[in-house]
Every structure is written in C-alpha cells, then in structure tokens.
Amino acid sequence: MNPIDIGDVDLNLFKIFEALFEEGGASRAAIRLNMTQSAVSASLRRLREVYSDALFVRTGRGLAPTSRAKELAPIVSEALDRCRQSLAIASPEPTNFHGRSISVGMSDDFEIALGRQLIETLTRIAPGLRLIFRQTHSQIVSDALANQEMDLAVFAGAFAGRGLRHRLVGEGSYACLIDGSQHKRRPTLSVDEFSSRGHILVSSGGVVGIVDEALAALGRRRTVIASTTHFASLPHLLHGTQAVATIPEHAAIAIAQLTGLALLPCPVDLPRYPIAMGWRSNSMRDAAVVKAHTAILECFEAQGFRFARGTAP
C-alpha cells in the first residue's frame, strides 16, 4: 500500500476527529464545531477512507471509538496542541479563548471544594475558555497526563514521569461529617463515640483506610457499614443516620456548607498529605494551559491551603 500524501488530506479532518472522539457523537461534535451534522458525517466518511477503519461505531449512546481511533487519539491531540502552541507564538497574550477547552483532572473532593471557584476565575482571566473536569487520582494521573487525556491535574501526593512536571500547591488534612440532627450539640466526637459509630468509607479501592490504621494504633477498630467511590453521595448516605465519614477537610468544609451536615475534627491523629498540580512540560507553551495553571494556583491560595512554592521534575 502506498503511503498517503499529507497534501491529499484536508487537515481540518483532524479537528473533526478530535471533536468526535471527545464528544462521542456526530450531532454533539457538530454543535461544538458550529458545523452541520451532515458535514461532520461526511468528514467522518473521509476519515474512514484515510485510515481504512470505521474509527467510530454506533452504540445506544452515540459513537464509540474503535481500537484504531483510541491509538490515533493521543497522536492527533498532540499534533493539534502543537498547532495551537504555534499560534500562541503569534499571539502570546490572547484576550479571548472562545472555542478552546482545557481538561483538568481531579478527584471529586477537589472538584467539590474548588470547582466553582475555578470556573469563576477562568471566566474572569480567560473569557471563552471551557473547562472540562476529568476524574483522576494519584495512581493513574501520570499516565493520564502523558497520554494527553487531560491538560492539568490536581491530586494528592506526587509523581515522576518523563516529560511531566508537578508543583506542590498545598497540604491536606482530614475532618469528619455527620448528620447534625442526630448528634448531641458538642463541638467534637470522642474516640469512643467515633469508633462505635458506623462509618461510610470513601475509597477508590480496598476496605481498609488510614482511619483503620490510626485506630489500630490505639487498640481500637471501627465498623465500615458502606463504602463509595464518590464524595458527592455522602449527604444522601449520612442524612438521618448515626454514621460518620472521615474525608479530606477541604471537601468536608464545602459539603457541610452546602448541605448542613455537621463538620467536626477527627478525634484520632491522621497524617497530613501533600497536594500537587501536574502537567506536561511542553504544554506550558499553550496560553490556555498557562491561564488554567494560574487559575488553579489562585484558587488554592484563596482557599487558605498551606501553600508550598517551587516546582519539581
């Protein structure tokens, strides 16, 4: 098979491929690109001819990428990012980012605590820039950044990876949430009451957490009555019960303010942990990523996190 000459390919097809991959449907991609759905469908047919592959197959929920499309996605994304970076050289300080989007990876505790403020900050400093939140955590974040599944990430801990950088942005701690109507109005929980209550565990995997380790050091145990992977479900799981949840303090504060759950200090000593922001080294040539980077730092400072300055490779 003869190689395809790039001169025979409409480079706009790559932007359409990106939209189809990220939006999961021709109609949504058409809205994003301000095109007609028929034009997007025609472009998809041309893409299929170029790559000799279906690329996207119809499912009950839209278009799902084939294995070939998944292989192409990071390559196409990187190529488009390089094009955007080249345009940033011509306009290093753009005042409007209409049509651009930035994906920020974070677990939902950070999204709950910082998400709204991050949206407001970006609206102010980068008009037109759309923010996309992606779920992530420390065990997968380096691969997600390297594979260009997200532009920036906020996570607990640190990482190392070729072509990646991170910056410590704060230090986290823990607090407890309970249903205030089920609690005698005291500002604290005793260790006895804490260990005797049923616990809701928030964890991406496993059944033992740092609370169990801290209680074990005191010769005590707790009973986990349920576990979930999402912090946002806690108000529904705690309401009207005697249960307690021990979660990162920044999320506990935000949830308590919105729902009326009682916020209490954890009666056992739990270790503090570093919070970092990560990104690909070459992405900082993109003005939109720089703006999002700045906005995240602003949000952490405004929230009163213990702030750690400096970068790490």
pLDDT, tens digit only, all 313 positions of the chain: 567 777 888 888 999 998 899 888 999 889 888 889 999 999 999 999 999 999 999 988 888 999 999 999 888 988 887 787 677 666 656 777 887 889 999 999 999 999 999 999 999 999 999 999 999 988 889 999 988 889 999 999 877 777 899 999 989 999 999 998 766 666 788 999 999 999 999 987 767 888 999 999 999 999 999 999 889 999 999 999 999 999 999 999 999 999 989 999 999 999 999 999 999 888 888 888 999 999 999 999 887 764 333 333 3
d(CA 285, CA 293): 12
C-alpha pair distances (Å), 49 with each of 54, 68, 278? 9, 13, 38
For the chain, domain boundaries:
6-87, 91-172+273-312, 174-265
Q: Under CATH, to which class is 91-172+273-312 assigned?
A: alpha beta
Q: For strand 273-280 and strand 164-172, is the pairing parallel, antiparallel, or unpaired?
A: antiparallel
Q: For strand 198-202 and strand 223-228, is the pairing parallel, antiparallel, or unpaired?
A: parallel
Q: What is the DSSP secondary-structure string of 151-178? A: SEEEEES----TTEEEEEEEEE-EEEEE
- Quick check: do 91-172+273-312 and 174-265 share a fold? yes
Burial of 97-120, coded b for 16+ CB within 10 Å and e otherwise, reads: beebebbbbbbbbbbbbbbebbee
Lookup: tokens for 302 = 């405004």
pTM of the model: 0.72
Q: Under CATH, to which class is 6-87 assigned?
A: mainly alpha
Q: Where are the beta strands (DSSP E) in 49-116?
A: 56-59, 62-65, 101-105
CATH code reported for the domain at 174-265: 3.40.190.10
